[in-house]
């Protein structure tokens, strides 16, 4: 009441004079306690200001609280706990400020001293709030710290509060260690979270669950298919040893995800293991890359060599032959041909690859690029020993 009277006559009061101070190690704890009490006092003062219809004082209190919580990141939780305790007497704007401060600061829920001020009802509100910037594991740690303050009285209650956590969003390693050993969750709850994680993994990486045993796979996906679901350009290489000699033939198929629009695109070719660097362009548009795209154009290390030739259709298989035999007339070539009946056309994507090997002896690898939902399936590969 004294500060209300002081503000009415002077437009200020003692609690509004929040001074920023650097907290050195020896007095940091004392400063924390002092600022905590100040935060509580400011919340109580705001309730009085609303009662006496002093909106300007409420605004000044909000500014002062913001200064306090900037100096001590864990104090937003103290402010929220105090607002929660005061109930309807707290100005709605101040309560929203308190929630905003807690939601936006990951450190706000990490200090045991601040957590000690929170009751079970507020813990439940925090765990069910869908605007928290903290992840599920952080919320789990918040709950366990709250329990440890008084384990005897809180453990059973915490088991019920824990049902508000989305366990499937916690890293499987943390889920199988810290969470499983906390004693707050039944084995069935943990297993259900594992099940949801497995289903999510299957949906995001479905090709990983379809690869044949012992089959050659793409390096990024470790499956026979690559590119699906990726909106940007994605270049992948076959997970084999680099090719430096002989004749190698392989077949791949162009696929499209359901619902993919006309912007989907793809390219088939090879990369140099020493000079290729993946970028935002289809295979062949960069150094160390040679490719033929689905529109019928080929590029050799950034230079167009063929344009508007035969396009590649969805679900069509294409064959590539990398000829590095000593007798090859083109001094090392990459040829693309097609599987459609009656179509015997083939195109030379690259030549003089022997010369490239002399300066870059690391060798070549089969590669593909996909864009905007296109997907490419590896079908088979053959190495010809003679030639």
Query: What pLDDT digit, counting tens, does each position of 30-52 carry?
Result: 767 776 777 777 777 777 777 66
Mean pLDDT of all residues in 223-250: 87
The pLDDT score that the predictor gives to residue 322 is 95
The pLDDT score that the predictor gives to residue 262 is 57
Q: Would you say the C-alpha torsion 243, 246, 251, 256 has a positive or negative sign?
A: positive
**Res 227 pLDDT > 50:** yes
The answer to whether the beta carbons of residues 309 and 275 sit under 8 Å apart is: no
What's this model's pTM, rounded to 2 decimal places? 0.56
Task: Indicate the helix (H) or strand (E) that contains 367.
Answer: strand 364-371
**Long-range contacts from 168-173, C-beta under 8 angstroms, 24+ separation:** 168/192, 168/193, 168/196, 168/197, 168/200, 169/135, 169/136, 170/135, 170/136, 170/137, 170/140, 171/137, 172/197
Other beta carbons less than 10 A from residue 224's beta carbon: 21
Among 256, 209, 200, which Cα is nearest to 230's? 256
The pLDDT score that the predictor gives to residue 23 is 47
The answer to whether the beta carbons of residues 258 and 267 sit under 8 Å apart is: no
**Res 96 pLDDT > 70:** yes
Secondary structure (3-state) at 279: coil
Which of 54-63, 249-258, 345-354 is predicted with the least confidence, judged by mean pLDDT? Answer: 54-63
Q: What CA–CA distance (Å, rounded) separates 244 from 221?
A: 24
The answer to whether the beta carbons of residues 353 and 362 sit under 8 Å apart is: no
Q: What CA–CA distance (Å, rounded) separates 15 from 22?
A: 19
**Res 8 pLDDT > 70:** no
Domains, the chain, ordered by start: 2-118 (no CATH), 214-384 (2.60.120.920)
The pLDDT score that the predictor gives to residue 9 is 45
* Average pLDDT of the residues of the chain: 83
Which of 59-63, 81-85, 128-132, 280-284 is predicted with the least confidence, judged by mean pLDDT? Answer: 59-63
The pLDDT score that the predictor gives to residue 213 is 57
The stretches of the chain forming alpha helices (DSSP H) are: 2-10, 28-51, 55-71, 75-86, 92-104, 112-115, 120-128, 136-149, 151-161, 172-174, 187-204, 353-359
The pLDDT score that the predictor gives to residue 385 is 56
Which of 210-224, 271-285, 297-311 is predicted with the least confidence, judged by mean pLDDT? Answer: 210-224
Mean pLDDT of all residues in 214-242: 83
The answer to whether the beta carbons of residues 319 and 312 sit under 8 Å apart is: no
């Amino acid at each position: 009441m004294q500060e209300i009277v002081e503000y009415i006559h002077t437009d200020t009061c003692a609690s509004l004079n929040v001074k920023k101070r650097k907290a050195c190690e020896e007095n940091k704890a004392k400063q924390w306690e002092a600022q905590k009490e100040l935060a509580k006092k400011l919340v109580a003062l705001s309730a009085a200001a609303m009662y006496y219809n002093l909106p300007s004082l409420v605004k000044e209190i909000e500014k002062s609280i913001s200064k306090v919580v900037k100096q001590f990141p864990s104090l937003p939780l103290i402010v929220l706990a105090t607002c929660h305790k005061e109930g309807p007497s707290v100005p709605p704007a101040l309560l929203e400020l308190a929630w905003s401060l807690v939601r936006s600061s990951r450190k706000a829920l990490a200090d045991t001293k601040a957590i000690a001020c929170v009751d079970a009802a507020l813990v439940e509100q925090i765990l069910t709030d869908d605007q928290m910037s903290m992840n599920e594991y952080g919320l789990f740690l918040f709950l366990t710290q709250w329990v440890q303050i008084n384990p005897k009285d809180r453990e059973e209650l915490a088991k019920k509060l824990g049902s508000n956590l989305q366990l499937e969003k916690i890293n499987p390693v943390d889920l199988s260690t810290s969470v499983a050993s906390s004693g707050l969750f039944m084995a069935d709850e943990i297993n259900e979270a594992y099940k949801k994680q497995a289903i999510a993994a299957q949906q995001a990486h479905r090709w990983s669950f379809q690869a044949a045993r012992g089959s050659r796979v793409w390096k990024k996906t470790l499956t026979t298919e690559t590119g699906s679901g990726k909106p940007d350009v994605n270049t992948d290489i076959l997970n084999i040893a680099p090719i430096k000699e002989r004749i190698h033939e392989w077949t791949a198929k162009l696929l499209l995800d359901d619902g993919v629009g006309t912007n989907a695109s793809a390219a088939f070719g090879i990369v140099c293991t020493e000079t290729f660097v993946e970028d935002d362009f289809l295979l062949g548009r960069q150094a160390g890359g040679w490719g033929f795209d689905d529109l019928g154009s080929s590029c050799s290390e950034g230079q167009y060599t063929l344009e508007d030739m035969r396009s590649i259709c969805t679900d069509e298989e294409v064959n590539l032959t990398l000829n590095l035999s000593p007798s090859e007339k083109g001094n090392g070539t990459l040829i693309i041909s097609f599987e459609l009946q009656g179509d015997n056309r083939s195109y030379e994507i690259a030549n003089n690859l022997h010369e490239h090997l002399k300066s870059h002896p690391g060798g070549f690898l089969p590669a593909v690029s996909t864009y905007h939902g296109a997907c490419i399936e590896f079908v088979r590969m053959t190495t010809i020993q003679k030639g």
